[in-house]
Amino acid sequence: MMRLVFAAVLVTLGLAASANEGGPELLESHVNLDSKNNLQRGARTFVNYCVSCHSASFMRYSRVMEDLGLSKEAVEKNLMFTTDKIGNPMQVAMRPADGEAWFGVAPPDLSVVARARGADWLYSFLMSFYLDPKRPTGVNNLYFPETAMPAVLSALQGVQRKVEHQAEGEAHGGHHAGPALELAVPGSQTPEEYANTVRDLVSFMVYLGEPAKLVRYKVGFWVIAFLFVLFIACYLMNKEYWKDVH
């Protein structure tokens, strides 16, 4: 019961933040919950780069196995790094007190962060780390200024720096377009590959926040198919009833 209350509070507080008032325009995430391959890749990225600090305590590995069409052996070998029981939730090994000591704040649980912040905000946040020597982690973020989170995906994305650019017509009295980011040091992935990696990761996090979506998608297809067949049957029945009426 307390978990449900906590989730509701987190969602309520996050909805206000997701409006992103006063910040740069959000990037479009284009998440895809229809492809299990995308969700599987997102799960792989999540456990390799996120679960070292963040938990997803509302989700169990067994549920991920069922929903994403994975075998028990694949989950145990590639996803379960913090437990040896497939029925356990996705907990983190790091203690909250250690996280607070290292980062200044305990890393939050990510079970419902996609519902609280929104998919576009998460995508924008993960795309927008840049160098900032003034920060303890050496980086900052356009969408979450002074974030305590380090750029954990920098090995994939590379290192970005913030530059000021001018909007077209600024010399003629136009407005400043604000900061932009450019790649200073390439990562192991191209910008397109990294964008796809983040899109898959965010898709998985959207799934974490509401696993029943996948069930609704399946049920929805059969409901529409049933209604279509029912419509045809009703149409033919109506035609048969009224065929002798002129």
Angle, helices 212-241/191-209, rounded to nearest 10 degrees: 70
The model's pLDDT over 160-208, given as tens digits with 9 standing for 90+, comes to: 999 876 444 444 333 344 568 999 999 999 999 999 999 999 999 999 9
Name the token pair of 105: 């704040």
Alpha carbon distance 140, 134 (integer Å):
9
Q: Looking at the domain 2-210, which fold is it? A: Cytochrome Bc1 Complex; Chain D, domain 2 (1.10.760)
Alpha carbon distance 129, 108 (integer Å):
19
Of the pLDDT bands very low, low, confident and very high (cuts 50, 70, 90), residue 3 is very low
User: Which long-range contacts does 143-149 make (Cβ < 8 Å, 24+ apart)?
Assistant: 143/20, 143/23, 143/24, 143/26, 148/103, 148/104, 148/105, 149/103, 149/107
pTM: 0.75
Burial class (CB in 10 A: 0-12, 13-18, 19+), 4: exposed
Whether the predicted pLDDT of 117 surpasses 80: yes
**Side-chain half-sphere CA neighbours of 134 within 13 A:** 5
Segments making up each domain of the chain, as ranges = 2-210, 218-246
Segment 212-217 mean pLDDT: 72
Segment 78-94 mean pLDDT: 90
Of the pLDDT bands very low, low, confident and very high (cuts 50, 70, 90), residue 246 is low
Quote the pLDDT of residue 122: 97
Q: Single out the residue of 160, 240, 163, 147 nearest to residue 194, CA to CA.
A: 160
Whether the predicted pLDDT of 17 surpasses 80: no
Quote the pLDDT of residue 20: 52
